Structure 1
Amino acid sequence: MSVRTRRQKAAATAAVDEQPAPTENGVAHASSTPKKVEKGPQENIFLFWPNLVGYARVILAVASLYYMPLHPRTCSFLYSISCLLDALDGYLARLFHQSTTFGSVLDMVTDRCTTACLLVFLSSAWPRYSIIFQGLISLDLASHYMHMYATLSMGGAGQSHKAVDSSRSWILHKYYTSRTVLFLFCLFNELFFIGLYLLSFSSPSLSPSLLQPPPHTEPMTAQPGNPAHPPADTLFASPWSAGALELARANKIDSMLPWVITIVSCPIMAIKQGINVIQLVKASNWLAEGDLAKRRADRAAGKLA
């Protein structure tokens, strides 16, 4: 091939690429760099607005756990704000079109962990009923894990655990597709456990150790959630310290409001636990259906006898 032919070929290549190819002594390089394809703006999923709210929920939940043993007012306030932000992250996801799988999983994990931690405290506050609280923790975790795994198995990685067809379960379909229903059930479920938590500080009928011992008697041993014993002057060097004052305030919580919260929210909490049972059973059936379909396919392919 002549030098002139090579130059013509290099010129034709440059015209197609809209960029002249580098040459040496009039001959084009064989390894000339192709034109780069422009890409869209890079997005950081971890800095989406709904996920930032999710991080704030985690921080508030951890702070509430720190104050949980002896600061019922502070703990209840922080825990409640963390729960209420659960509705905000979904709103921001729809507003900014930032719905992500990571955000959905973060939201579910935060819900499960915060509720489990509160139930662990209630188990220590009332050891006699710890098996009930342990059962509620196990039901909550097992139900949601199996449901999410079943929906992913049926619909693939992009399937949301909230996308439940009404033909499979009209109860779960209504529960997950109606934002109002989902919010109210989650709200009253958490209110019930918050009410029980406050009652552990305020109701002698449920926590007998809240009763002050008779004069000239030895104080009983303090238990988690029952901070009335021993007296504050035996725990703190200064009766005016922040810890002693908070302990004194905790002993004076009126039980009226916690009883109202607990009684009003109890029926919805019970229905919520029933939905967890239904969700667990349905998810088990869906996973079994998938196993049977796979075995039929394997048998048709000759992999099974």
Structure 2
Amino acid sequence: MPPGRALAQRDQDRGSDDNSRQDAERQPENVFLFWPNIIGYIRVILAISSLYYMPLHPRTCSLLYAISCLLDALDGYAARVFNQGTQFGAVLDMVTDRCTTSCLLVFLATAIPRWAIVFQGLIALDFASHYVHMYASLVIGGAGSSHKNIDESQGWLMKVYYSNKIVLFSLCALNELFFIACYLLSFSSPVIPLYLNADIDGHGPLHPEVEVDTSLLAKMFPDPFSSAALELARANKIDKYWPNIIVIGCFPFMALKQVINVIQLVQASQRLARVDVQRRQGIKQG
């Protein structure tokens, strides 16, 4: 091949490579397949699995639920390492947190009826606080803002809570641990001592010191998934010593988390109100 034609061919090939590279760069990234979001999907699967085991299998449920919560720290780490922080990932993370905690509190409201109004109030506070806070962040900061961007006007407590990753993770983890311990306690309250450790179908092991017809349970509870049968199945399955210790130890942190939720709700509402005042003043002046 003549030198001139070879040079032209080389330039053409180089131009083709540059065009291919530019086309590849112009192709949109698939945000749904970013590593932090994949971890988020795994969290959702683990949370749903824990709900399946929640009525009768406290150890399996607690393990799955705890792993789902711990992965909350891993997705943030992956977002920083791979530079894959996204608005979708932030929403997925927050929605997963709110929904999993709420599902556990719903169970606690049914398992410990005397405290049902408390658990219901915590659900309402959690959703209201985070929704109003995120909405205020979007209204004031725009679409590219983050709900974790806290200015000095919002106080040192909120600043430390959202800016210090160790504080944020520790407080959220201890808050969830408190509710998991409450969940385990619901399996340690004796209801009918005669049938300790019996399965709901009447064929499980009974208390060794008590002799009773195992078919009696099946006659008493023809529907093994009725509220009474499930309550009996939960009785005396978990030793309450360690759950009690965890509840007592984590209670101050859970209470602090709820105080932060109240502060967050109040401050976000005030920020939205200031935006409304400014808009109304602008309309009047215009």
**Residues 1:84 and 2:70 aligned together:** yes
Which of 142, 159, 163 is matched with 2:149 structurally? Answer: 163
Contact 1:67–1:74 (8 Å) recurs in 2: yes
State whether structure 2 residue 245 is matched by structure 1 residue 260.
Answer: yes
What do residues 106-145 of structure 1 show as CA deviations (whole Å, max 9, x unaligned)?
A: 0000000000000000000011211110000000000000
For the 8 Å contact 1:70–1:227, the answer to whether it is kept is: no
| 1:250-271 deviation digits (Å, cap 9, x = unpaired) | 7342111111111110000000
Shift of 1:46: 0.4
Q: How many Å separate the matches in 1 of 2:261 and 2:73?
A: 20
**Cα deviation digits, residues 272-295 of structure 1 (max 9, x gap):** 000000000001100000000100
Look up the match of 2:227: none
Partner of 1:151: 137
Q: Match of 2:118?
A: 132
Instruction: Report 1:260-279 matches (<5 A).
Output: 260-279=245-264
1:1-150 pair list within 5 angstroms: 38-39=22-23, 40=25, 41-150=27-136
Which string of whole-angstrom CA distances, capped at 9 and with x for unpartnered residues, describes residues 186-240 of structure 1? 00000000000000001x3xxx51x414xxxxx79xxxxx987785445679xxx
Calculate the TM-score normalised by the size of structure 1: 0.74
Contact 1:48 1:98 in 2 (8 A): yes
Give the 5 Å matches for 1:144-293.
144-202=130-188, 204=189, 208-209=190-191, 211-213=192-194, 231=202, 232=204, 233-234=214-215, 251-293=236-278
Relative to 1, partners in 2 of residues 1:122 and 1:248: Cα closer, same or farther, differing over 3 Å? Answer: closer
* Local SS of the residue matching 1:139: helix
Percent identical: 60
Aligned length: 245
Secondary structure of 1:97's aligned partner: coil
For residues 59-92 of structure 1, the C-alpha deviation after alignment (integer angstroms, 9 at most, x for no partner) is 0000000000000000000000000000000000
2:279 aligns with: 294
Q: 1:69 to 1:37 in 2, by over 3 A?
A: closer
CA RMSD, Structure 1 to Structure 2 (Å) = 2.8
Superposed CA deviations along residues 143-162 of structure 1, whole A, max 9, x for unmatched, are: 00000000111100110000
Q: Which of these two proteins has the greater Rg computed from alpha carbons?
A: 1
SS of structure 2 residue aligned to 1:85: helix
Residue segments in structure 2 that go unaligned for 5+ positions in a row: 1-10, 13-18, 205-213, 220-231
Residue segments in structure 1 that go unaligned for 5+ positions in a row: 1-17, 20-34, 214-218, 221-225, 238-246
Inter-CA distance 115–249: structure 2 relative to 1 (3 Å threshold): closer
Measure how far apart 1:170 and its partner are.
Answer: 2.0
SS of 1:173's partner is helix
Give 1:100's aligned amino acid. Answer: T
Asked if the contact 1:67–1:75 (Cα under 8 Å) also holds between the matched residues in 2, the reply is: yes
Separation in 1 of the partners of 2:117 and 2:164? Answer: 33
The aligned counterpart of 1:7 is none
Answer whether contact 1:76 1:194 (CA < 8 A) is retained. yes
